[in-house]
A and B are shown apart, each in its own frame.
Chain A
Amino acid sequence: MARMKSHVLGALLVAATAGMASAADQAVPHLPNGLPDFSSGNMGFASDGVEFFPVPGEKFVPVTNDPAHPFCGNRRMAKCGNQILPPIGDTKNPILQPWAAAQLKRTNDEILSGKESFEAMSRCWPGGVPGMMLFTAQPAYWVQSPKEVTILYSRGPYQRHVYLNVPHSKNVEPSWFGESVGHYEGDELVIDTIGLSDKTFVDWYHTPHTDKMHVIERYKLIEGGKRMQGMITVEDPGTFTTKWSGLHYFNRQILPISDSEYVCAENNNANYFDEPGQVPIPEARTPDF
Chain B
Amino acid sequence: MRFRAARMALAGGAVLALAAGAAHAAAAPDITGIWWANSYSPSMKAYLVGGGDIPLNEAGKKKYAENQAGLKDGSLMDRARRYCTPDGLPRSLATPYPFQIIDGPQGQMSWAYEQNAMIRGISMVKPLDSLETLSVLPFWNGHSAGHWEGDTLVVQSAGFNESTLTDATGLPHSDQLVTTEHIRKVNGGKQLEDVITVHDPVYFTRDWQARFAYDNHDGLRLTDYVCGEKHRDISKIEGINEARAQNAARATAK
Among the 9-residue stretches B1-9, B55-63, B139-147, the one with 4 or more Cβ atoms under 8 Å from chain A is: B139-147
In the complex, whether A237 has a CB less than 8 A from a CB of chain B is no
| Chain A positions within 8 Å of B227 at CB level | 124, 265, 281-284
B123 close to chain A: CB less than 8 A: yes
The 8 Å CB contact of A157, one of B106, B107, B119, is B119
- Interface membership of chain B positions 242-253, coded 1 if the CB is closer than 8 angstroms to chain A and 0 otherwise: 011001000100
Instruction: Find the B residue at minimum CB distance from A44.
Output: B105
Let me know if A258 and B106 touch, CB within 8 A.
Answer: no
Which chain B positions have C-beta within 8 A of A156?
A: 117
| Complex CA distance for A158 and B118, rounded to whole angstroms | 8
Checking B100, B119, B224, B234 against A289 with a beta-carbon cut-off of 8 angstroms, the contacting residue is B234
CB neighbours of B226 from chain A (8 A):
125-126, 176, 282
- Is the pair A145, B86 in contact by a Cβ cutoff of 8 Å? no
Do A283 and B83 touch (CB < 8 A)?
yes
Interface status of B174 (Cβ within 8 A of chain A): no
Chain B CB within 8 A of A17 CB? no
- The residues of B with any CB-CB pair to A shorter than 8 Å are 32, 40, 42, 78-79, 81-86, 96, 100, 102-108, 110, 112, 115, 117-119, 121-123, 139-141, 143-145, 163, 221-224, 226-229, 231, 234, 240, 243-244, 247, 251
A126 touches B224 (CB 8 A): yes
Q: In the assembly, what is the distance between CA of A261 and CA of B88, in Å?
A: 12
Contact A145 B221 (CB under 8 A): no
Contacts of A40 on B, CB cut-off 8 Å? 105-106
Which residues of chain A from 145 to 165 have any CB-CB distance to chain B below 8 Å in the complex? 145, 150, 152, 154, 156-159, 161, 163
List of A residues within 8 angstroms of B141 by Cβ: 261
**Which residues of chain A from 232 to 283 have any CB-CB distance to chain B below 8 Å in the complex?**
256-261, 263, 265-266, 268, 281-283
Residues of A34-83 whose CB lies within 8 A of B: 37, 39-44
Q: Is the CB of A42 within 8 A of B117?
A: no
Chain B residues within an 8 Å CB radius of A93: none
Known pairs A152-B112, A258-B145, A289-B81 / 20 extra A-B pairs, C-beta < 8 Å: A42-B106, A125-B226, A141-B110, A143-B102, A145-B103, A152-B119, A157-B117, A157-B118, A157-B119, A163-B221, A175-B223, A175-B224, A257-B121, A258-B122, A258-B123, A260-B121, A282-B84, A282-B229, A283-B83, A284-B227
The contact of B108 among A258, A265, A284, A286, by CB within 8 Å, is: A258
* Min CB–CB distance B170 → chain A (angstroms): 13
Residues from chain A with a CB closer than 8 A to the CB of B115 are 288
**A287 contacts B106, C-beta separation under 8 Å:** no
A219 within 8 A of B: no
- Cα of A282 to Cα of B225 in the assembled complex, Å: 11
Interface size class of A (residues with CB under 8 A): 35 or more
Report how far A263 CA is from B222 CA in the complex, Å: 20
Return B187 CB to nearest CB of chain A, in Å.
24
Contact between A265 and B105, CB atoms less than 8 A apart: no
The smallest beta-carbon distance between A25 and chain B, in angstroms, is: 21
With A125-B226, A258-B123, A287-B82: A145-B247 Cβ-Cβ less than 8 Å: no
Residues of B contacting A281 with CB < 8 Å?
83, 227
Q: Are A287 and B247 in contact (CB under 8 A)?
A: yes
Ordered by A's residue number, 17 sampled pairs between the chains whose C-beta atoms are within 8 Å are: A39-B106, A42-B106, A143-B102, A143-B105, A145-B103, A159-B112, A258-B108, A261-B121, A263-B140, A282-B226, A282-B227, A283-B228, A284-B81, A284-B227, A285-B228, A286-B247, A289-B40
- Chain B positions within 8 Å of A126 at CB level: 224, 226
Question: A154 touching B85 by the CB < 8 A rule?
Answer: no
Closest to B222 in A: A161
Smallest CB gap from B119: residue in A: A157
Taking the complex as formed, is A144 at the interface, i.e. its CB lies under 8 A from any CB of chain B? yes
Give the nearest-CB partner of A125 in chain B.
B226
In whole angstroms, what is the CA distance A126 to B116 when docked?
12
B78 — which chain A residues lie within 8 A by C-beta?
A: 287
Known: A282-B84, A286-B247. A159 touches B222 (CB 8 A): yes
**Cβ contacts under 8 Å, A260 to chain B:** 121
What B residues does A283 contact at CB under 8 A? 82-83, 227-228
In the complex the two chains form, what is the Cα distance from A257 to B103 in whole Å?
12
- Residues of A contacting B140 with CB < 8 Å? 261, 263, 266
Q: How far is the CB of A167 from chain B (nearest CB, A)?
A: 14
B144–A265 CB distance below 8 A: no
Query: Once the chains are docked, how many angstroms separate the CA of A12 from the CA of B163?
Result: 64
A273: nearest chain-B partner, CB-CB = B83
Q: A284's contact among B82, B100, B106, B122, by CB below 8 Å, is which?
A: B82
Query: Measured between alpha carbons, how far is A114 from B84 in the docked complex, in Å?
Result: 30
The B-contacting residues of A in range 197-217, CB under 8 angstroms, are none
Q: How far is the CA of A21 from the CA of B239 in the complex (A)?
A: 60
Q: Indicate if the CB atoms of A150 and B81 lie closer than 8 Å.
A: no
- Are B104 and A144 within 8 A (Cβ)? yes
Whole-angstrom distance between the Cβ of A196 and the nearest chain B Cβ: 11
| Residue on B nearest A169 in the bound complex, by CB | B221
A175–B231 CA distance with the chains assembled, in angstroms: 11
